[in-house]
Structures are given as C-alpha cells and as structure tokens.
C-alpha cells in the first residue's frame, strides 16, 4: 500500500518547472551529486536525501553483506524526508541493493520504496536504468566493472544474466570502505577496462557502484574503443530525465546522452 502523500502543484513553478527529481543517496556518497551537477537541463532541479551509513567496512564478503543489511533499515527515513520536497520523480543514487537478488530482488526493492511514494510517481533504480541504457544500444555481450567484493559481483552477474545479457568479464575492485570507492584512481579504471575488460567479443562496458564517478572519463574511453562505455550514474540520470519526458541531449558527455 502506498503512503498517503499529498503534493501541491504551484500555478507558475519556476524551480524545477520541468521536473524536480528526488535523489536518494548513501551518506558516504559524493559521486552522485557530482555527476548530477554535470547534467542540469533548463527547468530541471535535483534534490538529495541521504540515508545513514554507519557500517562503512567493505573489506570482506561478510562485511559487504552487513553493509547491505544495515542500509535496508535507513533508506525508508531518507524516502520519508525527500517526499516533503514534493519531487516529481525519485532516483536511487545507490546501486548494490538494486542488483541484490537479481531481477526479483530489484522488483522487491522497488516495491519497498513505493510504499513511501504516491502510486503515480516514477522511480529509477540503478539496475533498471543500466539495463534500459544497454537495450538502447541493442547489445548483448558486456563487461562489468564494480567497486564491490565478490559477493556483490555475484549479485550483479545474476541480474545481468537474468536480464538476457552475456557477461564476458565481471571484475570487482574490492574497495575497502564505502568512502574509498569515491577515491578509486581513474587510471586504474582506465587500465582495467582497456587491458582486461575489452575485446572483440564485448559489445559494451558498464560500471556499477554509484560512488565511483566516471562521467568525465568514460566519454574518452568510448572514443578509444568505439563502443558504449556507460557509468551507472549517467544511466540513472538519463533514465530519470527520459522518464519525465525530458529529451535534452548533451554533446561530449557520452553516447547515451548524445544519442538516446
């Protein structure tokens, strides 16, 4: 059952006249806000709500699992808070939980979020967004890079396999804390993609893990490899904008935003 939420509609809105997108992010995350600030179409406003991350340790599978279990308790408060800003769409600025349990897990996660939203309001999750982005390019064979421990990459593999993609390479950087994800050296990501994840049998490369911003780097890698290279933050931003009817395109910021 959806929460009882009453939204007012100003007669002549000027802030977010085309859309006010509520973005729910972990308290440790700095990547999502940075990337949203790269894409601000006229009349669109981004509004952020943070859910508390107390368990930052990601050094093992058990620690990563404890992290996932902890955030399930704090996300509802952030959803409660962001709804008071009267957004027109909700975008999840974290991705691990959206892949957890594959397709069914993403559906269950979305259903839990919708308990705090009006029925008519749109929702973007990382898993839905990246799958939709890949389908725009009509690709099947992909490589995936993440900041996760192996248990997280298993969930990512499960989701993409169940969605109909063939995952050729699935590599996690095994970042040790929720904060350190944001400080992953871009040269490490570049070297990994070019030397270990690309190949003639790979149609597209995607990056998951929203605190690892690659919106500045990936457009260059696309030109190097001549194939789609999609960071999850750009995919969620694209998905949220297109969901509310905003079709503005951005030149020089990646093929997804340029072509679709």
Domain ranges in the chain are 19-128+235-259, 137-231
- pTM here is 0.94
The DSSP secondary-structure symbol of 78 reads H
pLDDT digit string, tens, across residues 213-256? 999 999 999 999 999 999 999 999 999 999 999 999 999 999 99
pLDDT in tens, 107-133: 999 999 999 999 999 999 999 999 999
pLDDT band, very low/low/confident/very high, at 11 (cuts 50, 70, 90) = low
* 172 strand-pairing partners: 146
CATH topology of domain 19-128+235-259: Rossmann fold (3.40.50)
Contact assessment for residue 62 and residue 87, using Cβ atoms and an 8 Å cutoff: no
- Confidence grade of residue 75 (pLDDT, cut at 50, 70, 90): very high
Closest CA to 117 of 85, 95, 94: 85
What tokens were used for 47? 């509004």
Looking at CATH, the fold of the domain delimited by 137-231 is given as Rossmann fold (3.40.50)
Structure confidence at residue 5 (pLDDT): 54
pLDDT tens-digit readout, 16-35: 999 999 999 999 999 999 99
What end-to-end distance do the CA atoms of the chain give, in Å?
34
């Amino acid at each position: 059952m959806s929460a009882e939420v009453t939204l007012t509609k100003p007669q002549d809105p000027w802030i977010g006249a085309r859309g006010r997108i509520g973005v729910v992010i972990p308290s440790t995350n700095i990547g999502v806000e940075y990337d949203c600030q790269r894409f601000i179409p006229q009349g669109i406003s981004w509004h952020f709500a943070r859910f508390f991350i107390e368990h930052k340790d990601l050094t093992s599978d058990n620690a990563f699992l404890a992290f996932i279990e902890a955030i399930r308790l704090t996300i509802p408060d952030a959803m409660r808070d962001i709804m008071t800003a009267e957004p027109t769409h909700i975008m999840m600025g974290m991705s691990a939980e959206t892949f957890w349990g594959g397709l069914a897990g993403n559906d269950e996660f979305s259903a839990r979020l919708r308990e705090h939203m009006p029925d008519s309001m749109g929702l973007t999750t990382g898993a839905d967004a990246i799958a939709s982005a890949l389908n725009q390019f009509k690709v099947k064979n992909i490589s995936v890079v993440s900041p996760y421990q192996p248990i997280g990459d298993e969930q990512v593999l499960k989701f993409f396999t169940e969605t109909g993609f063939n995952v050729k390479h699935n590599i996690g950087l095994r970042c040790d804390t929720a904060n350190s994800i944001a400080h992953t050296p871009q040269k490490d990501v570049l070297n990994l993609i070019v030397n270990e994840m690309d190949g003639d049998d790979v149609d597209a490369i995607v990056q998951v893990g929203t605190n690892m911003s690659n919106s500045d780097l990936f457009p260059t890698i696309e030109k190097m490899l001549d194939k789609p290279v999609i960071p999850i933050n750009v995919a969620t931003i694209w998905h949220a904008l297109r969901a509310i009817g905003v079709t503005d395109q951005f030149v020089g910021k990646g093929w997804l935003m340029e072509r679709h």
